[in-house]
Structure 1
Amino acid sequence: MESSVRIVRARTVDGALEEAFARLMPQLSSACPVPQRAALERIAASPCTALFFAEAGGRIAGVLTAAAYEVPSGRKVWIEDVVVDAAARGRGIGRSLVGAAVAWARSEGADRVMLTSNPARREARALYRSLGFGLCDTGVFRMDLTR
């Protein structure tokens, strides 16, 4: 990791974080909506979620959200919406963000951490494998309730 990168868990949302999501979410996927500030504020304030950002060179260079929940099969954490600015990739920012989320998951007493990654995102998938994530023999089903 580059020494000038700082990982922060956001507890509040300011204009810089709002701008970062507007800039970064389209880099994750053209289908990703830009979250409204009120949604980011709910995520940052919730005891069940953690919103992390990476600051490098005075600018937010990456974001990650994690959500913890308890079900009969155990306490789990899902990592979602991991994106590092294209101009800042290859500097260890994604590794640092995921590391912060895994540390948070441990502090939350999670039994496992899960995430999904599009097969086209080869570098991201290689990163997750290098961090100890393994590909599961299951598929993710989705129902879009916004239509």
Structure 2
Amino acid sequence: MDRLPLLSATAATLARDVLAAVIDTPSTRLHTARLGGTIVSALTLVIYTIPTGLRARIEDVVVDQAARGHGIGRDLTNVALAIAKNHGARMVDLTSTRRGPPRTSSTNQRFGFAPRESTTYRLTL
């Protein structure tokens, strides 16, 4: 997955052991799309239970620049939403970075995602 640098300036190409750990984590699902045998898009769906119910998150949505505009990211997102719903998730959160293409926000809103009035804090360990 040499597309990860599109997500973060500090992201590196995904090492095999890290990829294996993602795949082996029961609550995490990595979905990919291929064109001509090459992975051109991926997203991570995380389904987890907290005291208020089952939740899902879509993270790390990335589409290769050459493959954008063909609905590949939309199709992967639809698959993830269907899986989350099938598992009984009441809501799905989607993270989006400011590094994405300008139309990312409007695309997310077309799915029905709305910005939350909350602040996410991060502590780097």
TM over 0.5, shorter chain: yes
Residue of structure 2 equivalent to 1:61: 40
Asked if 1 retains the 8 angstrom alpha-carbon contact of 2:6 and 2:99, the reply is no
Asked if 1 retains the 8 angstrom alpha-carbon contact of 2:59 and 2:94, the reply is yes
Instruction: Report the structure, 1 or 2, having the larger helix content.
Output: 1
1:111-126 aligned at under 5 Å gives the runs 111-119=90-98, 121=100, 122-126=102-106
Residue of structure 1 equivalent to 2:80: 101
2:59 is aligned with 1:92? no
Residue of structure 2 equivalent to 1:140: 120
Instruction: Report the Cα offset of residue 132 of structure 1.
Output: 0.9
Output the CA distance in 2 between the equivalents of 1:103 and 1:39: 26
Counterpart residue type for residue 30 of structure 2: L
Q: Secondary structure at the match of 1:105?
A: helix
Of 35, 60, 67, the residue aligned with 2:14 is 35
Q: Secondary structure at the match of 1:141?
A: coil
Please, which runs of 5 or more residues in structure 2 have no aligned partner?
none
Q: Secondary structure at the match of 1:87?
A: helix
Residue of structure 1 equivalent to 2:57: 78
State the identity as a percent: 37
Asked if 2 retains the 8 angstrom alpha-carbon contact of 1:27 and 1:86, the reply is no
2:23 is aligned with 1:44? yes
Counterpart residue type for residue 26 of structure 1: P
Give the aligned CA root-mean-square deviation in angstroms. Answer: 1.4
Instruction: Report the Cα offset of residue 113 of structure 1.
Output: 0.5
Q: Secondary structure at the match of 1:104?
A: helix
Output the CA distance in 1 between the equivalents of 2:61 and 2:84: 15
TM-score normalised by length of structure 2: 0.91
Instruction: Report the Cα offset of residue 45 of structure 1.
Output: 2.3
Distance 1:63 1:116, change over 3 A: same
TM-score normalised by length of structure 1: 0.78
Stretches of 4+ moved more than 4 A in 1? none
Output the CA distance in 1 between the equivalents of 2:8 and 2:25: 25
